[in-house]
């Protein structure tokens, strides 16, 4: 088996399992430890892990051909003995892999690298496009167009709205490389989000014809309403259930959430009116003070209704936080769980924030052959994501049910959700065994 095939398998396996790699112990007290090297290793019993081999172990493997899967020349690294912990050693190995994944090769040996330093070292794998895939510019343009249509029509008829969720976050956080430019759609976000008050809901529903004149469709779905272009990319029913009136959901779209006062909750706050949405995202609400301070906020080339300053910060602190630690994360962490274009579960990917707004850098490749292999690996990852879409969908179902079991207090629903959880876990078990 070639090194490139081994490496493909390692990375594909790593993605499917959400980055789970077993730790290894550093050698100590060995006079030959400075010649130790780190390898990826695989066997059926323990799966993929990182191993550290000394010179004699490597000699045995070379002579007798044992543990061939550990001989991956392009991912080995000299043992970094001065590192404070084992995790950094593992990170170093994966850095070498991802530097190849994140590159696009041109005919003359130059490469375009997203957010990589000229020496291609020192970046956490989780900060690359291999994990947080950028949304295509075409889809981003359509989201901007949809938001612009929404803004024009809602302002025209006097319906007040406010950006929410990822769009509000993008308006505040994505300020450009100089920190002074307008906000914008987050590079890996692939839908829009706004909220309107319940008192305006009936008037809002009457706008279908106005949107249709602009070639847009307004449809009701399980959690919210969606505005989508009539020529958008339709979902198949097995990926995304149709709207409640039977219409196909089309990508890309903007979600419109209806909010209002909720019985049994604080009466100075606006929650999602849709019960299922409220149960899932009960921390996504506006205070009366926040709603009364909606103002024009820049989002790319648009001026939309949203929050600024302390009001925006308070809202984002609630919506984007570590739920266990009760600490806001939106200023230093990024997350993506769902790919709306492919209706695929991506896993709960919460990683360190890096500046993703600046133009792609141009670097020179010193070893074109190796980086061409890297490009092939990148393609194999996309194939793996497609091939294993069922994994993501079932994992998404499992996480949703577990969330409901954790936060819902209804005994009847709890019993039903436990049955669903058992069913989904059984499906996942059967799927893994078949593959």
pLDDT in tens, the chain (435 residues): 233 344 444 444 444 444 444 434 444 455 555 566 655 554 445 544 555 666 666 666 555 544 444 333 333 333 333 333 334 444 444 444 444 333 332 333 332 322 222 222 233 334 445 556 778 778 888 999 999 999 999 999 999 999 999 999 999 886 543 345 567 888 888 999 999 999 999 999 999 999 999 999 999 998 999 999 999 988 876 666 677 777 888 999 999 999 999 888 889 999 999 998 998 898 999 999 999 999 999 888 889 999 999 999 999 999 998 877 788 888 877 777 778 887 776 666 666 665 444 333 323 333 444 444 444 444 444 444 444 455 556 655 666 676 667 666 667 777 888 888 778 767 665 654 454
Tell me which of 68, 102, 127 is where a domain ends.
127
Distance set, CA 96 to CA 124, 192, 375 (Å)? 10, 35, 14
- Please state whether 105 falls in left (phi above 0), alpha (psi between -120 and 50) or beta: beta
167 is a domain residue: yes
DSSP state of 303: E
pLDDT of residue 17: 45
In the sheet that 77-78 helps form, which strands lie side by side, from edge to edge? 47-53, 37-43, 77-78
pLDDT, position 245: 74
Our count of domains for the chain comes to 3
Same domain, 57 and 109: yes
pLDDT at 295: 95
Q: How far is Cα 284 from Cα 330, in angstroms, rounded to an integer?
A: 14
The pLDDT assigned to 382 comes to 44
DSSP states along 334-362: EEEEEETTTTEEEEEEEEE-----SPPEE
Write the CB contacts of 365 (distance below 8 Å, at least 6 apart in sequence).
Answer: 103, 105, 109, 110, 111, 371
Measured CA to CA, the distance from residue 312 to residue 306 in angstroms comes to 8
- Distance between CA atoms of 213 and 210, rounded to whole angstroms? 5
Query: Are 40 and 69 spatial neighbours (Cβ–Cβ below 8 Å)?
Result: yes
Domain identity same for 122 and 142: no
Residue 382 lies in a domain: no
Q: Is residue 369 part of a domain?
A: no
* pLDDT the model gives residue 201: 96
Number of H helices, E strands in the chain: 13, 19
User: Does residue 231 lie within any of the structural domains?
Assistant: yes
> Last residue of some domain: 331, 352, 373?
352
Residue by residue, DSSP assigns 223-262 as SSEEEEEEEEEEPPTTTSPPPTTSPPPEEEEEEEEEEE--
Structure tokens at 245: 């009136």
CA nearest to 165, candidates 139, 134, 193: 193
pLDDT for position 182: 62
110-113 β-sheet, strand order: 103-105, 110-113, 361-364
| Claim to verify: residue 291 and residue 151 sit in the same structural domain | yes
Which residues of 73-215 form beta strands (DSSP E)?
A: 77-78, 103-105, 110-113, 161-163, 192-197
> Final residue of a domain: which of 105, 127, 149?
127
Measured distance CA(203)–CA(152) in Å, rounded: 15
Question: β-strand 216-220 against 192-197: which pairing, if any?
Answer: unpaired
State the Cα–Cα distance between residues 242 and 221, nearest whole angstrom: 7
Q: Which domain holds residue 178?
A: 137-352
Same domain, 69 and 97: yes
Q: Are residues 310 and 182 in the same domain?
A: yes
Task: Assess whether 265 and 149 both reside in one domain.
Answer: yes
Residue 373 lies in a domain: no
Separation CA 256–CA 273 (nearest Å):
12
Give the sign of the dihedral formed by CA 318, CA 321, CA 324, CA 327. Answer: negative
Residues 42 and 110 occupy one common structural domain? yes
CA-wise closest residue to 393 among 346, 335, 340: 346
């Amino acid at each position: 088996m070639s090194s490139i095939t081994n490496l493909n398998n390692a990375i594909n396996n790593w993605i499917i399992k959400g980055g789970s790699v077993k730790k290894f112990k550093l050698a100590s007290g060995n006079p030959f430890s400075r010649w130790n090297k780190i390898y990826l290793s695989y066997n059926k019993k323990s799966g993929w892990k990182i191993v550290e081999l000394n010179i004699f172990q490597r000699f045995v493997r070379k002579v007798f051909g044992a543990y061939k899967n550990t001989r991956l020349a392009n991912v080995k690294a000299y043992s970094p003995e001065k590192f404070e912990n084992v995790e950094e050693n593992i990170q170093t190995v994966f850095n070498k892999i991802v530097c190849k994944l994140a590159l696009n090769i041109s005919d003359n040996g130059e490469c375009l690298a997203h957010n990589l330093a000229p020496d291609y070292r020192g970046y956490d794998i989780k900060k690359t496009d291999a994990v947080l895939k950028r949304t295509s510019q075409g889809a981003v343009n359509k989201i901007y167009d949809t938001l612009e249509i929404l803004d024009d029509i809602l302002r025209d008829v006097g319906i007040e709205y406010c950006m929410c969720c990822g769009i509000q976050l993008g308006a505040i956080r994505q300020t450009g490389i100089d920190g002074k430019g307008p906000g914008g759609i987050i590079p890996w976000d692939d839908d829009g989000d706004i909220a309107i008050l319940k008192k305006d809901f009936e008037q809002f529903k009457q706008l279908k014809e106005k949107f249709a004149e602009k070639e847009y469709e307004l449809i009701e779905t399980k959690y919210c309403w969606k505005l989508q272009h009539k020529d958008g990319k339709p979902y198949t029913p097995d990926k995304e259930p149709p709207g409640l009136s039977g219409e196909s959901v089309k990508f890309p779209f903007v979600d419109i959430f209806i909010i209002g006062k909720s019985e049994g909750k604080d009466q100075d706050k606006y929650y999602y009116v849709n019960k299922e949405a409220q149960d899932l995202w009960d921390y996504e609400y506006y205070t009366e003070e926040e709603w009364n301070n909606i103002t024009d906020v820049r989002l790319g080339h648009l001026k939309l209704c949203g929050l600024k300053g302390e009001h925006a910060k308070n809202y984002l602190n609630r919506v984007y936080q570590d739920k266990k630690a009760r600490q806001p994360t939106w200023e230093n962490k990024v997350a993506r769980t769902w790919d709306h274009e492919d209706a695929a579960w991506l896993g709960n990917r919460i990683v360190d924030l890096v500046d993703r707004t600046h133009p792609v850098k141009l670097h020179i490749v010193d070893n074109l052959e190796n980086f061409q292999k890297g490009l092939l690996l990148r393609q194999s990852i996309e194939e793996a994501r497609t091939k294993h879409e069922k994994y993501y969908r079932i994992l998404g179902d499992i996480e949703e049910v577990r969330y409901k079991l954790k936060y819902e207090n209804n005994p009847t629903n709890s019993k039903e959700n436990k049955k669903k959880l058992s069913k989904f876990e059984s499906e996942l078990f059967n799927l893994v065994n078949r593959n």
